[in-house]
């Protein structure tokens, strides 16, 4: 049993003090006059405070009890506090009137607190109290087209939005019984991805590669292409320059893509805590639309910087470091985030949450700690190669190292029919290309395969601002895999593709309509397509 201190505006009579002593179960009790208390009293027992104050409107404070403590150390947005015996991991604590913190470390002697927001005014000796709340982000339809920080505060200079509710940043991922298999395609508008590395709604597909290889460009194209796909997009910018984030937002606005997009930004100038929380906030916003039965896409750009922020926080919290100085739970930090992506069954609402995490490699090293971790969590990866990018192949996708573990089940049958041979042809081309450098004499079959591969490679070149609808992709890839491009000059492939698509659009628009409606290339449609392609080629290159 401990002692209690009762603070009240007026002196409490001995009989009432005795009742309070009995209620609190303490050995002794003292009463101190405190003019700052409007009415009622505060009871302090050790580091715990029981709040029984009464306000002017006679309402009793709903916060009945909380623990208090003091800041002992603070630096780089991470504080250490003593007391707070009732604090929980992941709980929000209030630091006087100077800000809020998140409890990330529990030890017998002290607590590790990550400061949320500005920490310049907080100093040792400041009092801290528990709130009993966990960190949540405001969500609702009004968050669409907005730029916010990980705590839900607007960054776009517009007025505050009225949230429909608050979603916790961390929840347990839906169980196996609430999910269904991934079978609905997420069309990125990029021929190389939709044709060979298809992504399904509810999938987790990693985009990986060195810096400046076009990783964010793939994300940008995908968001732009969702304009008519009934897909909500959440773009999470972690540790990037503010100028880059502003440029990304300006491009989305230019293409009219901000109407279906939310941007969660924690820039390089923000604290490590904000960078650490950003992907969880983006996921919580995506889950709001998932719970409404809608399809949502979350892009984490990028989880390498998220790992660096978490490592910095963990080292400041004096946690034991492991491989590459990362904390031991870095794998769990990413797995509990990415496992929340899923496609729910109809009984659970039928929505989907797709994740496209981005990882930056160093000199193409896929065996480094963070890349191998995230590769093992995701359902496949799109590997971008510096050599391909520098040679002018954009998107610079290495077909051999890229894979989608969902495979053809996330493609419409039409594109599966025409792109089936595409991956094999390109893989053969890469092998023959390496072999042909050392061979002085090549047979006709090898020359033919090399020619076909070079034309297909040229066909798959695509700018980030040129997302292509799937029906146009079917026509374009059909021409490539059926040898129509074999005798066309390499430098004219792009011109022929544009000519072909315009020709079909003008003279045979029913081909596009049938592909969209049937989602399959029927024998009749294939016959019409073959004739249209031959006619277009005749017009383009008359003999």
Q: Is 58 helix (H, G, I), strand (E, B) or coil?
A: coil
Residue 469: which residues within 8 A CB-CB, separation 6 or more? 187, 189
Active-site annotation holds for 430: no
Q: Is the dihedral of CA 242, 245, 247, 249 positive or negative?
A: negative
Q: Is the dihedral of CA 253, 257, 258, 262 positive or negative?
A: negative
Whole-Å CA distances, 529 to 473, 508, 525: 13, 8, 6
Catalytic residue among 311, 405, 445, 534: 405
Q: Which helix (H) or strand (E) segment is 481 a member of?
A: helix 470-481
Residue 38: which residues within 8 A CB-CB, separation 6 or more? 9, 53, 54, 55, 56
Please give the backbone phi and psi of residue 452, each rounded to the nearest 5 degrees, phi first.
-60, -45
CB burial string 103-124: b at 16+ within 10 A, e below = bbbeeeebbbbbbbbebeebee
509-518 vs 470-481: helix crossing angle, rounded to 10: 110
- The DSSP string of 223-235 is HHHGGGTT-EEEE
Displacement of CA 529 from its chain's centroid (Å): 39
With tokens 């339809």, the residue in question is 141
Catalytically annotated residues: 405
């Amino acid at each position: 049993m401990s002692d209690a201190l009762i603070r009240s505006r007026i002196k409490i009579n001995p009989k009432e003090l005795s009742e309070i002593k009995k209620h609190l179960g303490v050995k002794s009790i003292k009463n101190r006059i405190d003019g700052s208390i409007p009415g009622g009293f505060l009871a302090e027992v050790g580091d715990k405070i029981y709040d029984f104050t009464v306000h002017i409107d006679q309402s009793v404070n709903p916060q009945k009890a909380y623990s208090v403590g003091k800041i002992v150390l603070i630096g780089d947005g991470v504080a250490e506090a003593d007391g707070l015996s009732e604090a929980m991991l992941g709980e929000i604590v209030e630091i006087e009137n100077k800000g809020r913190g998140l409890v990330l470390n529990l030890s017998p002697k002290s607590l590790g607190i990550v400061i949320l927001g500005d920490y310049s005014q907080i100093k040792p000796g400041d009092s801290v109290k528990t709130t009993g709340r966990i960190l949540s982000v405001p969500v609702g339809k009004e968050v669409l087209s907005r730029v916010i920080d990980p705590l839900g505060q607007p960054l776009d200079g517009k007025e505050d939005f009225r949230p429909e509710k608050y979603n916790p940043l961390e929840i347990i991922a839906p169980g196996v019984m609430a999910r269904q298999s991934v079978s609905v395609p997420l069309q990125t508008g990029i021929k190389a991805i939709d044709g060979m590395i298809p992504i399904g709604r509810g999938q987790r597909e990693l985009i990986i590669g060195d810096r400046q290889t076009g990783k964010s460009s793939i994300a940008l194209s995908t968001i732009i292409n969702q304009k008519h796909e009934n897909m909500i997009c959440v773009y999470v910018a972690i540790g990037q320059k503010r100028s880059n984030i502003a440029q990304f937002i300006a491009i989305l606005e230019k293409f009219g893509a901000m109407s279906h997009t939310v941007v969660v930004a924690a820039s390089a100038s923000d604290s490590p805590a904000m960078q650490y929380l950003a992907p969880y906030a983006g996921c919580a916003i995506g889950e709001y639309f998932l719970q409404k039965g809608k399809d949502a896409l979350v892009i984490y750009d990028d989880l390498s910087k998220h790992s660096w922020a978490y490592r910095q926080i963990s080292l400041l919290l004096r946690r034991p470091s492991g491989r590459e100085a990362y904390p031991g739970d870095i794998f769990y930090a990413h797995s509990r985030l990415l496992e929340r992506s899923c496609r729910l069954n109809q009984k659970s609402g039928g929505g989907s949450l797709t994740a496209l995490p981005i990882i930056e490699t160093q000199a193409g090293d896929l065996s480094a700690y963070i890349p191998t971790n995230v590769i093992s969590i995701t359902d496949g990866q799109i590997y971008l190669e510096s050599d391909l990018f520098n040679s002018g192949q954009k998107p610079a996708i290495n077909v051999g190292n890229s894979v989608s573990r969902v495979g053809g089940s996330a493609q419409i049958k039409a594109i599966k029919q025409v792109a089936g041979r595409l991956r094999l042809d390109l893989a053969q081309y890469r092998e023959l290309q390496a072999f042909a450098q050392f061979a002085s004499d090549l047979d006709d079959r090898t020359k033919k395969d090399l020619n076909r591969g070079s034309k297909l490679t040229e066909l798959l070149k695509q700018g980030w601002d040129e997302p292509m609808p799937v029906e146009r992709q079917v026509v374009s890839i059909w021409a490539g895999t059926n040898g129509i491009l074999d005798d066309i000059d390499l430098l004219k492939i792009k011109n022929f593709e544009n000519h072909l698509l315009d020709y079909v659009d003008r003279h045979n628009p029913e081909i596009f309509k049938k592909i969209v409606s049937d989602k399959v290339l029927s024998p009749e449609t294939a016959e019409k397509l073959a004739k249209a392609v031959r006619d277009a080629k005749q017009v383009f290159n008359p003999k």
